[in-house]
Amino acid sequence: MKTLRRLILLALALTLTVVVFGAFVRLSDAGLGCPDWPGCYGHATPAHAADKIIAAESAQPGGPVSLPKAWKEMIHRYLAASLGLLIIAIAVLSWRHRREPGAAPGVALALVGVVIFQGLLGKWTVTLLLKPAIVTGHLLGGMTTLALLGWLALRVCRVASRGAPTGLVTAARIGLVLLVAQIALGGWTSTNYAALACQDFPTCHGAWMPAGDFANAFHVVRELGMDADGALLSGEALTAIHWTHRLGALVLTAYLAALAALLARHERLRGQSVLLAAALILQVSLGIANVLLSLPLPLAVAHNGGAALLLLCLVRINHGLARERAARRLERNRNANAYA
């Protein structure tokens, strides 16, 4: 179990790295740095494909292909491939230790399935030329991998809360669902390049309810930068995407602040309450700063990392509360059987 625990913690750290570095690749417009998959112009490294990359850059200066962009894209692929191998090893060890406390072979096998599908999404991201639905799905796949590994790490380290009221379980689950929805909105905003559609704050274009084309903004099956009819995506559509993300952030912030306050009422949960509040304040601050400072790359990447940290906080909270409720249910059953 010690080897399994170390592999899970290593995979968790690597997944966080892959998620953040993937955001860096996307936000630096390097997603098509190598326009084929899994190699780069059929080679294992950009160094071996340097002649073709230089030719492509010469044909389209400032375009999606260049040596720096190719290296960014391939480093991301190398990291993702290493993570996939780690997860396969985790699944094998989890199955071997399936009868030991803390092992969760079902979750580990589910992770293998997620990673396989995530690899396909990575391929389609390139071969389908950054379609927003595919790129957003790829982001959600990375976050799902992170959440499952976080859950596995908590299981294998046998971390649980004590003295937590079961009434908080539903509230924590709703918080997790709202966060996933907001991450999806954030991914949709980023992949449609709508992050700067509103450059003032807290209003947008000086209005509390700016004009927006919501129908085309959230039409899923379309090309990057195009509406459903193949015309260029309008500024009103980009505004609708950005403004919806802001409204989602407002709802999520209010809800998670209330959840942190509820957790703080219970002494054993105050540490988690503080972590949740700190992660929430950091994420909101980064979001506002990105608007006011016109999306500097380090802050934009940090905003993606902040979402990942928030996700891990909520996974920790949900795991602890769920384990506590399960323990209480088991205790009640034992007591009932004792008096039967």
For residues 25 and 286, give the distance between their C-alpha atoms in angstroms, rounded to a whole number: 19
Q: Give 166-208 as a 3 state SS string.
A: CCHHHHHHHHHHHHHHHHHHHHHHHHCCCCCCCCCCCCECCEC
For residues 56 and 61, give the distance between their C-alpha atoms in angstroms, rounded to a whole number: 8
Residue 207: phi and psi, rounded to 5, are -125, 150
State both tokens at 148.
């499952």
pTM of the predicted protein model: 0.93
Which pLDDT score is estimated for 166? 66
- The three-state secondary structure class of 64 is coil
Q: Who contacts 109 (Cβ-Cβ below 8 Å, separation ≥6)?
A: 91, 94, 95
> Which residue ranges make up each domain of the chain?
1-159, 161-340
- The three-state secondary structure class of 300 is helix
Q: In this structure, which amino acid lies at residue 176?
A: L
- Residues marked as catalytic: 73
- The three-state secondary structure class of 60 is coil
For residues 253 and 241, give the distance between their C-alpha atoms in angstroms, rounded to a whole number: 18
340 residues of the chain, pLDDT tens digit each: 889 999 999 999 999 999 999 999 999 999 999 999 999 999 999 999 999 999 999 999 999 999 999 999 999 999 999 999 999 999 999 999 888 887 899 999 999 999 999 999 999 999 999 999 999 999 999 999 999 999 999 998 877 655 566 679 999 999 999 999 999 999 999 999 999 999 999 999 999 999 999 999 999 999 999 998 899 999 999 999 999 999 999 999 999 999 999 999 998 899 999 999 999 999 999 999 999 999 999 999 999 999 999 999 999 999 988 876 555 555 555 555 555 5
